[in-house]
């Protein structure tokens, strides 16, 4: 069974930075496609960033391009989301998602079977 645990959320001022972590257990990242999603109050969950397990190719949603970076550390079996130049509209619960043997990078919710519990990010002055 794959388990995902997010951490690193918090309150930050506009323009600030945070780094989220997603620690995976039960299966190596070599066998998992990983993505970050977020859900703001009253809105649908949306894909933010993903990374391919095959070649490390990444993709970011237009809303975060140039500001967010996804990366992985195979030795720690952990995926990170570095978030810079944060805006109030980035406020949301951020979720890590994974799928076994998933070779491509996808921001579709239905691509992933495993989800973490989420971590709150609040951008406010």
In SS3 terms, 38-99 reads as EECCCCCCEEEEEECCCCCCEEECHHHCCCEEEEEECCCCEEEEEECCCCHHHCEEEEEEEE
Q: What is the pLDDT of residue 103?
A: 85
Q: What is the average pLDDT value for the chain, to the nearest integer?
A: 96
Q: Of 46, 6, 48, 51, which is closest to residue 29 (Cα–Cα)?
A: 51
Per-residue pLDDT reduced to its tens digit, 66-88:
999 999 999 999 999 999 999 99
What are the CA-CA distances from residue 33 to residues 61, 76, 84, 101 (Å)?
17, 16, 23, 7
Radius of gyration of the chain (CA): 13
Q: What is the pLDDT of residue 104?
A: 86
Predicted confidence band of residue 12 (pLDDT cuts 50, 70, 90): very high
Q: What is the pLDDT of residue 108?
A: 95
Q: What is the pLDDT of residue 5?
A: 97
Predicted confidence band of residue 34 (pLDDT cuts 50, 70, 90): very high
Q: What is the pLDDT of residue 36?
A: 98
Per-residue pLDDT reduced to its tens digit, 79-121:
999 999 999 999 999 999 999 988 889 999 999 999 999 999 9
């Amino acid at each position: 069974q794959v388990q995902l645990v997010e951490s690193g959320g918090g309150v930050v001022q506009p323009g600030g930075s945070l780094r989220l972590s997603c620690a995976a257990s039960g299966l190596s990242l070599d066998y998992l496609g990983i993505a970050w999603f977020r859900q703001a109050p009253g809105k649908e969950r949306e894909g933010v960033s993903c990374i391919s397990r095959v070649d490390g190719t990444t993709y970011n949603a237009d809303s975060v391009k140039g500001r967010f970076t996804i990366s992985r550390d195979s030795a720690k079996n952990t995926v990170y989301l570095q978030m810079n130049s944060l805006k109030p509209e980035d406020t949301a619960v951020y979720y890590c998602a994974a799928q076994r043997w998933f070779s491509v990078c996808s921001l579709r919710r239905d691509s992933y079977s495993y989800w973490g519990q989420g971590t709150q990010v609040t951008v406010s002055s």
